[in-house]
Amino acid sequence: MSTRSILKAGNTPALFDDFFRPWNEWFDTGGLAGRMLTVPAVNITDNTNDFTVSLAVPGMNKEDFKILIDGQLLTIECQKEHTAEENDARYTRKEYNYACFSRSFTLPEEVNKEQIDARYQDGVLNLRLPKKDEARQLAPGKQIDVK
């Protein structure tokens, strides 16, 4: 799996760095845009009876997630929008925040798709992908010695 990130192109001479610094802080990968364009970290564990998939997605609600299975493709999508507005006699301020991501994984054949379970707690989305009975009965892996 790969994660793409947007990097600032170095097309301005160093002479102009100080002049453009306030704007560059908003648009380089360490600034505001870099935080908005992140994909959540994922841990996948292969256990004896199941696979577990854990995504670090703090600040979301369980209603923000959409988990789909299409054939052997598992897709996890999340979308959250927040708006706030302040009115005063001299100004109006309206702010909004929009966050979304989508991650897709190819499921192994041994996953029992009918019994997949998802839980969101303490900023972590956990999916349990149980293995089919016949996959559990297979002998454990064999280690090959290097000669």
Query: Residue type for 140, please?
Result: P
Closest to 80 (Cα-Cα) out of 95, 94, 63: 63
- Mean pLDDT, the chain, as a whole number? 77
Task: Give the pLDDT of residue 91.
Answer: 75
Query: Could you report the per-residue pLDDT of 3-59, keeping only the tens digit for each?
Result: 443 334 445 445 555 555 554 445 554 444 444 447 888 999 999 899 999 999 988
Closest to 111 (Cα-Cα) out of 52, 42, 41, 43: 52
The residue ranking higher by pLDDT, 93 or 103, is 103
- Overall average pLDDT of the 99-111 stretch: 90
Task: Give the pLDDT of residue 45.
Answer: 93
**What Cα–Cα distance (Å) separates residue 101 from each residue in 8, 25, 36, 60, 135?**
21, 23, 10, 12, 32
The burial of 126, by beta-carbon neighbours within 10 Å (0-12 exposed, 13-18 middle, 19 or more buried), is given as: middle
Query: Could you report the per-residue pLDDT of 57-77, keeping only the tens digit for each?
Result: 988 889 999 999 999 999 999
Considering the entire predicted model, what is its pTM?
A: 0.62
The residue ranking higher by pLDDT, 12 or 101, is 101
Q: Could you give the CA distance from residue 94 to residue 81 in angstroms, rounded to a whole number?
A: 13
Two structure tokens written together for 30: 């360490």
Residue 81 pLDDT > 90: no
Task: Give the pLDDT of residue 138.
Answer: 64
Calculate the CA 106 to chain-centre distance.
Answer: 15
pLDDT band at 86 (very low <50, low <70, confident <90, very high): confident
The burial of 34, by beta-carbon neighbours within 10 Å (0-12 exposed, 13-18 middle, 19 or more buried), is given as: middle
Task: Give the pLDDT of residue 67.
Answer: 95
